[in-house]
Structure 1
Amino acid sequence: IHGVCQSDGCQGNEAEFFMKCASHPTSDDDLSVALDLIMTNSRDVPCIACTDIRDVVLVFQCSERHVICLDCFRGYCQTRVSERQFMYDPVIGYSLPCAAGCPDSLIKELHHFRILGDDQYGRYLQYGAEECLLRSGGLMCPSPGCGAGLFPPEDSRRVECDRQLGCGFVFCKNCREGYHEGACPTELALNRTTSSAKC
């Protein structure tokens, strides 16, 4: 926001605003993120999902500016987390578009997904981290109960899960079974099936 600073000797002409939560005491350097899509429904626009008119709504960034009430938005987010249907964007991260499916409408401020609550938001963060890992060429340890994120060596099929992060399981990068020499069991089974089909 442009303006003129009224302090003696200052030539500043831009103001910077910081949001703070009013519900609990915070230190001076503790900041809260502004959730710019959550607004007062002063025009009484009905929710696109339940058609109720609520006082506080979320307005998507699509060209139609679709409105959804916070209860329906929470349900939309919970369903998408459960189905692992959040979308990955290299700039924004793991996000959702307008509930009506409008193009170019991904939510840019990811703190809006705190509406999920601590447990579901934790799942959202975990799935987002896994998606980032997989897109970066990493993989997850296949050992039951582990799932540590790893970046395997490119020149070898042998992968060892780091004991500081995970379980120490040694496995084949190609088939995710315990490490072995020679062809993977799935390749051998496929070759046997192909050979018998030719006979």
Structure 2
Amino acid sequence: MDLLDELRSRRALCIVRAPEIPDPVGLAGALVEGGLPIIEFALTTPGALGLIERVSAVDGVLLGAGTVMSGQQARDSIAAGARFLLTPGIRLDVAAEAVRQNVPVVLGAMTPTEVATAVDAGSTAVKVFPAARLGPAYFKDLHGPYPGLPLVATGGLDAGNAAKFLAAGAVAVTAGSGVVSPALAAESRFAEIRQRAAEFVAAVATG
């Protein structure tokens, strides 16, 4: 799996973070049907490794682990079935483990210096957070010193603003609670999740 090719093709991924996810397989299936097959389960979700293990066998899912904070968490996530890793900030031990196991990693960054550090550590793409607060123009600014660098916009994005970040140069955008809210996940309201995913994908298509 070439994560960068998938991000360039799909232009969107979905982060799943909720206190309770009773049916992760059904949730993943709803996202795939809605057009968001690149899915990140945040390790801040209780029992996240077990959820990743259960979802890893779902057809059509490109499954990753998010909010990975240590080398041990990286190892555990990969062992559970995660095919890529994401971090909220610069986590060099996570990057080192991902590189060692030849697993794509997307390190989080905000400043130009952090972006450079992520690239030097082997980050496949760089997750810029918090995107909504920084604004689309910030992505154009970053591409001044870093032309062509794949940047993933994360934080506060929804169907109403996601396309602006793609137009500003982001390689992909991240859907979050606007698609999979904690309530929808806990109550297994898959029809609503599927609809929200489709709306996000449709909005991304205009970027």
TM-score range, shorter chain: under 0.3
| Structure with larger RCO (C-alpha < 8 A, sep 6+) | 2
Return the structure number with greater helix share. Answer: 2
